[in-house]
Structure 1
Amino acid sequence: MTDIEHPETFHGLPVLTLPEPGEQHAPPLPPADSVAWRLDCLWNEDNPFAELWPRFLDSVDSSRVRALLIGPWWHGEYEHLGPVLDRILADADRFPALRGLFLADVISEECELSWLEMTDVTPCLEAFPRLEELVVRGCGESLSDTDTLSLRPVAHDALKVLRFESGGLPGSVVRAVGASRLPALERLELWLGVTHYGGDATVADLAPLLSGGALPRLRQLGVQNSEIQDEIATAVAAAPVVARLDTLALSMGTLTDAGAHALLEGQPLTHLGELDLHHHYITEPVQQRLRTTLEPHGVRLHLDEPDHWDPEYDETRYVAVDE
């Protein structure tokens, strides 16, 4: 995985991994509402999640917990997320202050993104009506339909940030976001990934989101990490939602000169505070056109060195995160 690390902060709070029991020289635990709590089972065979979760509830005042990150929830043989999420949701009433939830804070040294067997994450939004930020990391491909990342259309009045980090995001998830009622959502980030890992979303699936009608308060949009990044850029170039965005991310995918030209020839982007195009396949002359068009207007343009590829072989272009 590239572009994936353990966050040092989450939902505006420093991340603290719950110490192991009996850890020498461990300082007293901080107030429950002063940190984002991270739970990690990977390195302790005596602490599978079924034991770690009740210890967390006994150690921390869950009524004051504002943010929670679920790191590796297995030790030894990998387990899918479903039973872990069921256990968390069974205790949802003990977390009235929870505003941020990160499912699968896992990096490649712990488990490849494509191996993270997910589940239906809709119950998180149903069980936590005051949740403001939901981050889900994992792919859609699975050997079992019950272990596949999924989302149903949902109404949620408080959610401000929704992020799916995936090497293969199912189109059904994208369509569900577009069909949901999320009046407070300000930031949406979708890593679409590749078809090999279940990423079958199309530009048509994005239409309700790009129309501007589905998410009235959206100001930050990322449609990233896609093997159809040029098609996405072309659609975005004419999308009504762009006119009210502060930041736009079309990064991490296979964006080429074709997609960049579409952005340059489409609606003005000079109102943006930030345009993120890092990890791309844009030639230097077209990069320079982007700079001279946008930077004089104060747009922060993120353009790193283009990845090398052979134009005769499209398969040599890669997204930043797949496996």
Structure 2
Amino acid sequence: MPASETMVIVIGESLVDIISDPHRPEEIQAHPGGSPLNVAVGAARLDLQTTLVTHYAEDRYGLMIDQHLRSNNVRVINGGTSATSTALAALGTDGGAHYTFSIDWDINGASLPALAAVEGSTHVHTGSIATMLGPGDKATLALVMAARKHATVSYDPNCRPAISPDVAEARNRAELFVTASDIVKASDEDLSWLYPDRTPEQTMAAWLELGPAIVALTRGASGPVVLARQGRVEMAAESIAVADTVGAGDSFMAGLISGLSQLDALGASGRHRLQNLTPDEMNALAAYANRAAAITCSRQGANPPRSAELGPMPVPSPAQQA
């Protein structure tokens, strides 16, 4: 499906990351962030028509988010009035980020335009705080369920124990969204926290039985694993100089969505295609998303690649797959 015809709706939080870097303690940087916002920007930069259903206020940080989204051609449906959320991100010596949040999540102020958007979409993505924090989590799930007749759905739990410390409740909420999704992506840290008594790959297999066509696992420097009923793909992470890992998983998710669009595997009409990808197509898809994440890791902050940097996904021809 041409990118220009793929209507992607992302539902989830927008916030400002306030980043403290131990290598430059004199510098405190503020950047628009939040996993769903990053996925929306990543998808738009890969030329997908993207709308973000979110919440931020008309305050200093909200204006920063608004300018960032609009400069990246992301349409906005803003459903909240509370102060714009923030996350204090302290970077470790390995480039990983640890977060402290001040956040609200409520999109009831945009319920009608949000419903109209998902009903007209090709694909809907959600995840992270938007699926765990009330009162907006219930509205998020309702929008996902309303979308399923018209669109494929993807989900990334992107767990934040500081926001949802009750792991049993978080696990239950995650499984609701997994069951409603066609594509699920999670990190090894997510799955180890949600299911400490089994391996991440055991959880991938269990989640696949709940209904998704694809479950993808990101493992940082160890690279991704993609699991479907017709096969499994594993590859190493690309060898790069890591600036930091902020937004890498979100770029991987945007890469998956873009790659599946190029395979005509999104939307209700693409669901059968999605469920029957060949091993070569799965490998190409994983490599494409892996490359998107690597580019993001090579530079500071959640700065996903544009289509000119990533290029089109190399899609195996039928002759190559024979």
Greater helix fraction, Structure 1 or Structure 2: 2
Say which structure, 1 or 2, has more relative contact order (CA 8 Å, 6+ apart): 2
Scaled to the shorter chain, the TM-score interval is 0.3 to 0.5
Mark the structure with the bigger radius of gyration: 1
**TM-score scaled by structure 2?**
0.33
Greater strand fraction, Structure 1 or Structure 2: 2
